[in-house]
A and B are shown apart, each in its own frame.
Chain A
Amino acid sequence: IAGITQAPTSQILAAGRRMTLRCTQDMRHNAMYWYRQDLGLGLRLIHYSNTAGTTGKGEVPDGYSVSRANTDDFPLTLASAVPSQTSVYFCASSEAGTSGRPYNEQFFGPGTRLTVL
């Protein structure tokens, strides 16, 4: 079934540890995104990539890094986790826009629930 997979499903992490959240899509979408979702704050964009080899910062990028070596994979790394990074993390992807449809809907993965102690 086409879509987005994320791993792990959940993780408990000690503060100060390094962690990489994995995201893979098989829809051949050019653009990929990482969000965090917190109660009362909604979905906030961390980083994005419009195409393989390029990345950009979103609303809350501090403490996170990403890479986009190929079309399908977009890992998110926490270099040194802190308790405020406790959240649910969602990866998403979308097709590139066209002149007729400059922006397309994003499709989301199932999420990773991360707890930093």
Chain B
Amino acid sequence: EDQVTQSPEALRLQEGESSSLNCSYTVSGLRGLFWYRQDPGKGPEFLFTLYSAGEEKEKERLKATLTKKESFLHITAPKPEDSATYLCAAKGYSTLTFGKGTMLLVSP
């Protein structure tokens, strides 16, 4: 059975304090690893797709990386507007499996 586990469940940072979110996955035949941002009361917003180990993608203060067992979302010098829940999802041979998310709070 495909599984995606995100850690930590919640993370509180001070503005400018860099950190990383983890997404560990166990899927048969990874076809893609996806990161989303979800604000309260909104739908998930697509951030990145990673297809193979070693791949990296960047967007503003966010950088996503992928290994054969996990993905990291690195947040450099976060700002309060980066506060949200970050979801990762892995696609194997069957359906897309989502993790339960990491709730990030960035304090000014």
Contacts and interface: CB of A to CB of B under 8 A. Distances in A.
Interface of A: 4, 40-45, 48, 58-59, 90, 92, 101-111
B39 to A, nearest CB: 11
Nearest to B36: A108
Nearest to A40: B100
Residue among A43, A59, A92, A110 with the most chain B CB within 10 A? A43
A39 B67 CA distance: 29
Interface string B46-64: 1001010000000000000
Interface residues of B, number: 21
B51 A45 contact: no
8 shortest A-B CB distances, which residue pairs? A108-B43, A42-B100, A43-B98, A103-B31, A108-B44, A103-B32, A103-B91, A105-B46
A108 B43 CA distance: 6
Interface of B: 31-32, 34, 36, 41-46, 49, 51, 87, 89, 91, 95-96, 98-101
Contacts of B46: 105-108
Nearest to B44: A108
B99 A42 contact: yes
B99 A90 contact: no
A3 to B, nearest CB: 10
